[in-house]
A = this chain, B = another copy of it.
Amino acid sequence: MADEVRLGLIGVGRIGKIHAEHCAQRVPGARLEGIADMVLSQEQESWAKGLGVRVLARDPQDMLQDPAIDGVVICSATDTHADLIIAAAAAGKHIFCEKPIDLSVPRVKAALAAVQKAGVTLQIGFNRRFDHNFTRIRERIQAGDLGTVQLIKITSRDPAPPSPAYVAGSGGIFMDMMIHDFDMARFQAGSEITQVYAAGAVLIDPEIGRAGDVDTAIVTLTFANGALGVIDNSRKAVYGYDQRLEVFGSKGMAIAENDLPNRVTLSTAGGVTGEKPLHFFLERYKEAYIGELVSFVEAVLHHTPAKVSGEDGLENMYAALAAGKSLKEKRPVFIDEVRAE
Task: Decide: A269 and B238 in contact? CB cutoff 8 A.
Answer: yes
Choose the segment among A69-77, A94-102, A259-267, A290-298 that binds chain B (4+ C-beta atoms closer than 8 Å).
Answer: A259-267
Would you call A265 and B255 a contact (CB within 8 A)? Answer: yes
Query: For A140, A217, A230, A272, which residue has the most chain B Cβ atoms within 10 angstroms?
Result: A272
Q: Tell whether, in the assembled complex, residue A272 and residue B271 are in contact, meaning their CB atoms are under 8 Å apart.
A: no
Q: CA–CA, A277 to B230, complex, Å?
A: 23
Inter-chain contact A239/B262, CB cutoff 8 Å: no
User: Does the CB pair A256–B250 fall under 8 Å?
Assistant: no
Q: Which of B199, B234, B264 contacts A150 (CB 8 A)?
A: B234
Q: Chain B interface: which of A84-92, A107-115, A218-226, A311-319? A: A218-226
**Are A237 and B264 CB-contacts (below 8 A) given A197-B197, A228-B199, A272-B274?**
no
A332 and B220 alpha carbons, distance in the complex (Å): 12
Q: Does A54 contact B (CB under 8 A)?
A: no
Q: Which of B220, B239, B250, B251 contacts A220 (CB 8 A)?
A: B220
Q: Does A58 contact B (CB under 8 A)?
A: no
CA distance A230 to B185 in the complex (A): 17
The verdict on A339 contacting chain B, using a C-beta distance below 8 Å, is no
A252 at the interface (CB under 8 A from B): yes
Q: Within the assembled complex, what's the spacing in Å between the Cα atoms of A151 and B267?
A: 14
The reply on A309 being an interface residue by CB < 8 A is no
Q: Given the complex, which residues of B lie within 8 Å of A132, measured CB to CB? A: 261-262
> Residue of B at shortest CB range from A223?
B201
| Cβ-closest chain B residue relative to A219 | B220
Which residues in B have their C-beta under 8 angstroms from that of A59? none
On whether the beta carbons of A151 and B263 are closer than 8 Å, the reply is no
Residues of A232-252 whose CB lies within 8 A of B: 232, 234, 236-240, 242, 248, 250-252
Q: Which of B218, B248, B268 contacts A145 (CB 8 A)?
A: B268
User: Is there contact, CB below 8 Å, between A276 and B267?
Assistant: yes
Q: Mark A142-153, 1 if CB is under 8 A from B, else 0.
A: 000110101101
The residues of B that contact A269 with a CB separation of less than 8 Å are 238-239, 251-252, 276
Hey, what's the 0/1 contact readout for A105-131 against B, CB within 8 Å counting as 1? 000000000000000000000000000
Q: Which of B151, B218, B268 contacts A251 (CB 8 A)?
A: B268
- Does A216 touch B at the CB level, under 8 Å? yes
Given contacts A239-B267, A254-B265, A256-B263, 13 further A-B contacts (CB under 8 A): A137-B264, A145-B266, A146-B266, A148-B203, A151-B216, A199-B228, A217-B228, A251-B269, A255-B264, A255-B265, A255-B267, A256-B262, A258-B263
